[in-house]
């Protein structure tokens, strides 16, 4: 695609495979796991990340993230694991923002020790704290922005600059923003990761992961990742390509709906606080406006206590109470009962996560119907 091609056009056309045989309009699916080895430079094999559908969709994701290259994985966590373990070895040190996805934290807490890899978790979003945590053996800074569940935002350019200054690899989990709302490579972040299970898939029916970076980083990651074995099945690759064609359309609707809903919540007397970077009252509103193209479909709001939060999730009708996020359907979950259930109430409250908090993945339904559903559930409290 030409450099100035619009993002919606990239979603539809970037990387698409031509059907030279029948001239169909969509990418053909090549599920073969066995390819001719005579007179070819590179042996094709799905686990090597080099089959036609994987290469085609990787091109689309690279284009959407303004990166040279990309890879697909069987889950977001496989992408996260493969990206980190392609660059670290025993004795190295990694810096993590503490408010990252629970599964990533679990990977770090449970597996790093086994490999003698050190790590530091940073509670704050203050860049100085990240720079101060750097040690001679530090290799990676890993961040997530906007964060779960309070939608705090970190300065991407500052993280990119520190990483360059100390020759570290910066990795961001860009799942919440999607490539439509945020392109971290533009701010100097090295590796951009997505749980494609969320917005990229968008219909709550695909488990997949992706990462985008420079050609040379991707070559290094491939070298290790063919040994880890976490690539995505061709059938799901094909389905994910189909899903991403509507990504820009969906995310714009998610953005609009989340802003409408957060304004409704802001004015509701039963809501103690609303966290959405699109609101001027959000502490990171200005920073978000600088580094994001849209504020996303994720928001959180706080009710009085856990009982009220549980009652609320029982009373919603159109909106589903469900874990995950990023689907076309609106879903609400309680961080206390899901993502943050394994840490103590005190630890949660230190992070600003009170028991009355509900995280809302705002879908693409008509906003008035979402708001009406919230309204009737509030009336039941
Ligand atoms: C879901 C999620 C992941 C993990 O992705 P899986 O596809 O479930 O492996 C990582 N990061 C964030 C922000 C997520 O929401």
- Which is nearest to 99 in space by CA: 359, 366, 314, 278? 359
Report how far residue 234's alpha carbon sits from residue 319's, in angstroms, rounded to the nearest whole number.
Answer: 32
Residues with CB under 6 A from ligand 1: 75-77, 101, 103, 144, 148, 173, 175-176, 195, 197-198, 207, 209
pLDDT of residue 60: 98
Longest dimension (CA), the chain: 71
Question: How much distance in Å is there from the Cα of 78 to the middle of ligand 1?
Answer: 10
Please give the average per-residue pLDDT across 96-124, as a whole number: 94
pTM beyond 0.95, yes or no: yes
Given a contact cutoff of 8 angstroms between Cβ atoms, the answer to whether 29 and 234 are in contact is: yes
Query: pLDDT at residue 350 above 90?
Result: no
Report how far residue 4's alpha carbon sits from residue 109's, in angstroms, rounded to the nearest whole number.
Answer: 43
**Distance in angstroms between the alpha carbons of the first and the last residue of the chain:** 52
Q: What angle do CA 202, 276, 133 make, to 5 degrees?
A: 95
pLDDT digits over 71-81, tens only?
999 999 999 99
Burial class of residue 91 (count of CB atoms within 10 Å of its CB; 0-12, 13-18, 19+): exposed
Mean pLDDT of the residues in the chain: 96
Query: pLDDT at residue 141 above 90?
Result: yes
pLDDT of residue 3: 76
Q: Whose CA is nearest to atom 11 of ligand 1?
A: 101
- Which is nearest to 70 in space by CA: 78, 60, 80? 60
pLDDT of residue 42: 83
Which atom of ligand 1 lies nearest, measured to the CA of 207? 7
pLDDT of residue 302: 98
Question: How much distance in Å is there from the Cα of 87 to the middle of ligand 1?
Answer: 21
pLDDT of residue 142: 98
Please give the average per-residue pLDDT across 205-224, as a whole number: 98
Given a contact cutoff of 8 angstroms between Cβ atoms, the answer to whether 192 and 174 are in contact is: yes
pLDDT of residue 343: 84
The pLDDT > 70 percentage for the chain reads 100
pLDDT of residue 342: 83
Which atom of ligand 1 lies nearest, measured to the CA of 325? 15
Q: Would you place residue 135 in the very low, low, confident or very high pLDDT band (cuts 50, 70, 90)?
A: very high
pLDDT digits over 21-40, tens only?
999 999 999 999 999 999 88
Which atom of ligand 1 lies nearest, measured to the CA of 176? 13
pLDDT digits over 289-301, tens only?
999 999 999 999 9
Report how far residue 313's alpha carbon sits from residue 208's, in angstroms, rounded to the nearest whole number.
Answer: 28
Please give the average per-residue pLDDT across 41-45, as a whole number: 89
Q: Whose CA is nearest to atom 12 of ligand 1?
A: 101
pLDDT of residue 351: 85
- Full strand arrangement of the beta sheet holding 191-195: 69-73, 209-213, 191-195, 169-173, 138-144, 93-97, 118-122
Question: How much distance in Å is there from the Cα of 102 to the middle of ligand 1?
Answer: 9
pLDDT of residue 73: 98
Question: How much distance in Å is there from the Cα of 108 to the middle of ligand 1?
Answer: 14
pLDDT of residue 41: 82
pLDDT of residue 39: 86
Question: How much distance in Å is there from the Cα of 339 to the middle of ligand 1?
Answer: 11
Question: What is the residue whose two structure tokens read 């036609």?
Answer: 52
Does residue 4 or residue 194 have the better pLDDT?
A: 194
Q: Best of 80, 97, 98, 103 to mutate for ligand 1, by most ligand atoms within 8 A of CB? A: 103
């Amino acid at each position: 695609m030409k450099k100035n091609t619009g993002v919606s056009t990239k979603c539809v056309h970037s990387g698409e495979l031509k059907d030279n045989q029948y001239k169909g309009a969509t990418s053909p699916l090549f599920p073969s796991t066995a390819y001719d080895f005579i007179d070819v430079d590179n042996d094709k094999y799905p686990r090597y990340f080099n089959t036609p559908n994987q290469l085609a969709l990787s091109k689309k994701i690279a284009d959407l993230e303004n990166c040279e290259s990309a890879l697909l994985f069987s889950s977001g966590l496989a992408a996260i694991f493969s990206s980190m373990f392609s660059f670290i070895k025993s004795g190295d040190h990694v810096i993590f923002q503490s408010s990252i996805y629970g599964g990533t934290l679990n990977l770090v807490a449970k597996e790093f020790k086994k490999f003698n890899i050190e790590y530091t978790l940073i509670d704050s979003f203050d860049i100085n704290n990240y720079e101060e945590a750097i040690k001679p053996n530090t290799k990676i800074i890993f961040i997530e922005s906007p964060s779960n569940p309070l939608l705090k935002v970190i300065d991407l350019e500052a993280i990119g600059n520190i990483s360059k200054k100390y020759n570290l690899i910066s990795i961001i989990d860009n799942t919440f923003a999607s490539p439509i709302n945020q392109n971290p490579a533009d701010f100097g972040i090295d590796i951009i990761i997505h749980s494609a299970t969320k917005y990229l898939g968008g219909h709550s029916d695909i488990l997949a992961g992706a990462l985008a970076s420079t050609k040379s980083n991707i070559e290094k990651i491939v070298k290790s990742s063919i040994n880890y074995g976490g690539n995505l099945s061709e059938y799901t690759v094909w389905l994910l390509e189909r899903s991403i064609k509507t990504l820009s359309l969906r995310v714009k609707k998610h953005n609009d709906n989340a802003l409408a809903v957060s304004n409704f919540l802001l004015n509701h007397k039963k809501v103690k606080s609303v966290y959405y970077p699109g609101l001027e009252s959000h502490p990171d509103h200005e920073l978000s406006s600088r580094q994001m193209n849209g504020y996303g479909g994720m928001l959180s709001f706080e009710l009085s206590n856990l009982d009220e939060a549980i009652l609320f999730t029982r009373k919603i009708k159109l909106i589903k109470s469900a874990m995950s996020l990023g689907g076309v359907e609106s879903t609400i979950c309680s961080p206390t009962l899901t993502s943050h259930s394994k840490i103590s109430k005190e630890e949660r409250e230190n992070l600003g996560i009170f028991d009355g908090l509900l995280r809302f993945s705002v879908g693409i339904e008509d906003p008035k119907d979402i708001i009406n559903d919230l309204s009737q559930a509030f009336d039941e409290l």
